[in-house]
């Protein structure tokens, strides 16, 4: 009974559009009104560890190091932003999907569609092209009253015909705080669409997993576990883990492997941090963890390789 009433209310309330829809007449810019208070520390593109500095982009902009998501054509890429402090009320915006490529050709356009996963709860705000998206927080046209940190993800399906290039996208957060009024913060990031060359991808993955598997994480974790003091831990371990981490970050992991790769990267980074700060207890935990995540990554990689031989298709 309650379920029925709940559903009825939602239907009757309809798609309420709040202020986040106002930028359709303002060149998609929330900052044209909310930019009276340009704040920092309210949001960040979720860390991707991969940073790219393109120098001067084709459109003349110099953006410095930008966080970079990667995808091969045909992949779904999960873009994600952290709202660190909602500051009374806010809404999240994703935009610039219509911006041309910034390395190869500005006529290169991202050909995309919303992947429509259950997590993709965004409203396409569109009067005249180009569209932008705002996240649906509850039923108030995308507006959230939560001040606690939260992450928002957008699953974007990259069409198989999208030209390889760097695409300069942007997350923005605009809101209204008591005593401050309207406020705004944004961050640009890159979506790097990679060459869909299966043979090259397979070669890349093979080279990486060989280095990762032969780093010696098993012996390393036993050595660190047995150590009573940091002095008993060989200083060579740090370099080995760093190398394996760099190799993992350099690979454009296909989406089936990306999860295991990120878990490995996280634990390898934790071990690098522990060894650098000479924290033996943390190093023991991290060394055991990285040994596990390395095994898991290796396992899924070999499964993937057997399912995806590097056949030539053209």
Element (DSSP H or E) covering residue 246: helix 236-250
Applying CB under 6 A, does 33 fall inside the site for ligand HEC? Answer: yes
Give yes or no for a contact between 130 and 148, defined as CB atoms under 8 angstroms apart: no
Considering the complex, what minimum distance in angstroms separates the CB of residue 90 from ligand HEC? 5
Considering the complex, what minimum distance in angstroms separates the CB of residue 184 from ligand HEC? 8
Contacting residue, 86, 100, 101, 175, with ligand HEC by CB under 6 A: 175
Considering the complex, what minimum distance in angstroms separates the CB of residue 133 from ligand HEC? 9
Residue ranges in 87-146 that form contacts with ligand HEC under rule CB under 6 A:
89-91, 93, 134, 143
Contacting residue, 71, 174, 201, 208, with ligand HEC by CB under 6 A: 174
Going by C-alpha positions, the residue among 150, 301, 135, 122 that lies closest to residue 211 is: 301
Give yes or no for a contact between 181 and 267, defined as CB atoms under 8 angstroms apart: no
Tokens 């190093």 correspond to what residue?
283
Using CB under 6 A, which of the segments 7-15, 174-182, 222-230, 232-240 binds ligand HEC? 174-182
Going by C-alpha positions, the residue among 122, 192, 108 that lies closest to residue 155 is: 122
Going by C-alpha positions, the residue among 239, 226, 224 that lies closest to residue 283 is: 224
Contacting residue, 22, 76, 187, 204, with ligand HEC by CB under 6 A: 22
Using CB under 6 A, which of the segments 14-22, 44-52, 197-205, 243-251 binds ligand HEC? 14-22
Cα dihedral 199→201→206→212 (10° resolution): 170
Q: Which residues bind ligand HEC (CB under 6 A)?
A: 18-20, 22-23, 26, 30, 32-34, 89-91, 93, 134, 143, 174-176, 182
């Amino acid at each position: 009974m309650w379920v029925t009433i709940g559903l009825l209310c939602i239907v009757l309330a309809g798609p309420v559009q709040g202020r986040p829809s106002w930028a359709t007449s303002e060149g998609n810019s929330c900052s044209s009104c909310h930019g009276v208070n340009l704040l920092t520390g309210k949001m960040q593109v979720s860390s991707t560890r991969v940073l790219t500095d393109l120098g001067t982009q084709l459109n003349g902009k110099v953006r410095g190091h930008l966080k970079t998501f990667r995808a091969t054509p045909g992949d779904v890429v999960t873009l994600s932003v952290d709202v660190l402090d909602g500051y009374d009320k806010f809404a999240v915006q994703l935009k610039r999907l219509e911006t041309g490529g910034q390395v190869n050709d500005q006529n290169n356009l991202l050909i995309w569609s919303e992947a429509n996963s259950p997590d993709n709860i965004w409203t396409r705000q569109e009067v005249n092209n180009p569209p932008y998206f705002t996240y649906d927080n509850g039923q108030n046209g995308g507006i959230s009253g939560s001040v606690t940190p939260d992450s928002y993800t957008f699953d974007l399906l990259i069409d198989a015909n999208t030209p390889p290039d760097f695409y300069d996208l942007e997350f923005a957060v605009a809101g209204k705080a008591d005593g401050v009024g309207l406020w705004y913060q944004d961050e640009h990031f890159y979506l790097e669409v990679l060459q869909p060359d299966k043979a090259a991808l397979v070669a890349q993955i093979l080279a990486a997993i060989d280095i990762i598997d032969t780093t010696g994480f098993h012996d390393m974790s036993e050595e660190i576990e047995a150590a009573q003091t940091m002095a008993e831990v060989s200083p060579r371990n740090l370099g080995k883990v760093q190398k394996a981490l760099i190799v993992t970050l350099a690979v454009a992991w296909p989406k089936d492997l990306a999860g295991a790769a990120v878990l490995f990267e996280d634990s390898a980074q934790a071990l690098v941090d522990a060894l650098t700060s000479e924290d033996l207890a943390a190093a023991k935990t991290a060394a055991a963890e990285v040994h596990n995540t390395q095994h898991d990554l290796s396992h899924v990689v070999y499964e993937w390789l057997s399912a995806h031989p590097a056949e030539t298709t053209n």
